[in-house]
Amino acid sequence: MVVDSLQEIQSAIDSFYEQTKKLVGTTIVERENWNNTVTFESVKHYAYGIGDDSPRWVDANYVIAGGRRVAPPAYLTSVFYPMLHGANIQAPLSSLIGEIEYIWSSPVYVGDAITANATISDCYEKTGRKGRRMIFVISKVEYMNQKKEKIAESKGTMIRSTQVGSELMLQRSVYRYSQSELEQIEKQIMMKFRRGHEGRKFSEVKVGDDLGAVVKGPLTIGDMVAWNAGNGPGYRAAELAWKDVRKSPHTAVINPLTGHPVKYSLQHEDLHLSSQRGMPLPFANGVMVFAWCSTLITSWIGDSDLLSNLRVRLGEPYFYGDTAWVAGKVASRETVNGKNVVGIELAATNQLGGSMASGSAKVVLQ
């Protein structure tokens, strides 16, 4: 379907909005589950996909504190993707991830068999600063283990914004780094600290403590390939990709150079298009940014791995060549129902000082 006139555009968006509202409260399946069984190899695969080579994820000989091997908390994003797009209707709408939150009631253990189901919990509309229609699709995912126990719950906010032809939503040149900037990135990478076997103690934590920082980037096509592989096959190639787009038109964007529809994920794979800003969306993946934020916390708390909550709100998009500096500070410490809970504030900035993400987390310490 080709939508040209303003009336047709508004009608298509109206239809999408009304049909999506009817889906509120229903179970939605947009893609197949991938890592239903938590194996060491799948954990290792995922860890490399998010750039976290902690030995507890990737070293089979690493001795686990407490005797039970776990997976990175954000590994659940590779079991079931936490974002839903809304009704399966083609409409001139871009897809932007606004916020992601996970609440864990249990660590993710190697050996667990995990199932998940997703529902659209809400759908509403706002008008953006430029007058664009913005439809918010709120999804909820529950993750269960083989004992039918809920181990986590996620909430995702997908923003579907009016897309005008091939107009770029945001555009700037690929950043070129100076030698001193590259040296600073390398220095930060080499300084990465992991708590390891000796878990973080509640008694040693003070409000205002700095968690340090992790650096991710400069972002390349290889990073996106690794992320997509670690997060599970989200699409197929060649004629199979064409069939998938026709089956799920709400996941597609029109390539302004060729005029044919491609999946939003596929646009990230083309080096030329990414470097030339040829696509109508920036080179960003909000779930990837969420996972990268989680690595700062798991490195800081050590092998106890008691991250109980993480919420990340996305800001400036992540372009090809950008570097994210993810930092955190202790915002609170309290004992609740016998548990020692530490609150953390997170912030991610790019090489230009722009805010890429902000968020909060809670960890339970001994």
In this predicted model, what pLDDT tens digit does every residue of 132-157 receive, in sequence order? 899 999 999 999 999 999 999 999 99
Work out the percent of the chain whose per-residue pLDDT is above 70.
88
**Residue of 216, 179, 212 whose CA lies nearest to 291:** 216
User: What is the C-alpha end-to-end distance of the chain, expressed in Å?
Assistant: 58
Task: Provide the pLDDT for residue 192.
Answer: 80
Half-sphere exposure of 92 (CA within 13 A, CB side): 20
**Residue of 280, 348, 344, 291 whose CA lies nearest to 314:** 348
Task: Provide the pLDDT for residue 101.
Answer: 98
CA distance 282 to 8: 26
The phi, psi pair for 37, rounded to 5°, reads -105, 130
Task: Provide the pLDDT for residue 166.
Answer: 61
CB atoms within 10 A of CB 339: 13
CA distance 217 to 284: 13
Task: Provide the pLDDT for residue 278.
Answer: 47
pLDDT per residue as tens digits for the range 215-259: 998 887 778 778 888 887 666 777 887 888 888 887 777 766 667
Q: Homologous superfamily of 6-365 in CATH?
A: Hotdog Thioesterase (3.10.129.10)
pLDDT per residue as tens digits for the range 344-359: 999 999 999 999 999 9
Which two tokens mark 33? 């589950």
> Which parts of the chain sit beneath pLDDT 70?
1-4, 65-66, 164-170, 233-235, 255-258, 264-284, 305
